[in-house]
Amino acid sequence: MKTHTRQRLVEAAVRRFYRDGFRSVGIDQVLADVGISKTAFYKHFECKDDLMLAALEMQNRWLQDTFRTMICERGGPTAIGQLHAVLDVVDHIIASDDFQGCIFVNAAMEFPLPHEPAHIAASENKQAIEDILFQLAVEVGASDARGMAQELWFKGTLGGW
């Protein structure tokens, strides 16, 4: 039950933070969405910042998994095919009716100082997606695999979703 409640809190927080912004959402709004008390909340998280980081971590895992799956599905089994599919995948994500910008770009903008935990989480996501592209570039034998990954990431997303 404890894990289920924590998961519901994180999922509700993701929806709220994505829609309304991190600073605009109060704990009471998330608690109302989940239907629990502050006492129950504090059994799972020490503060709103911890909930924000859990929400960003969950989204990071989801986005990496989804991105990998989509480039494999659209690009086939080869690294070259998957690299060719990257911009199509980004376009598909951005064209989705559910897309309202990138939660990681939003976090980085709301918490612009590089030492802030939410900013660090956003940077980690950017690096993780770039690393997926880097690995594909290595597999195809690109002479500058890191440069290729950075170029694809920037051109495909204008620096972020």
Contacts (Cβ under 8 Å, ≥6 apart) of 87: 152, 155, 156
- Tokens of residue 121, six digits: 């989480």
* H or E stretch covering 64: helix 48-75
Summarised one tens digit per residue, pLDDT across range 95-115 is 988 888 899 999 999 999 999
The CATH number of residue 89's host domain is: 1.10.357.10
Global pTM reads 0.88
Range(s) of the domain holding residue 97: 2-157
Q: Provide the domain count of the chain.
A: 1
pLDDT tens digits for range 35-91: 999 999 999 999 999 999 999 999 999 999 999 999 999 999 999 999 999 989 988
Residue whose pair of structure tokens reads 């939660």 in the numeric block: 103
Written as six digits, the tokens of 28 are: 């009471």
Which tokens sit at 41?
């909340």
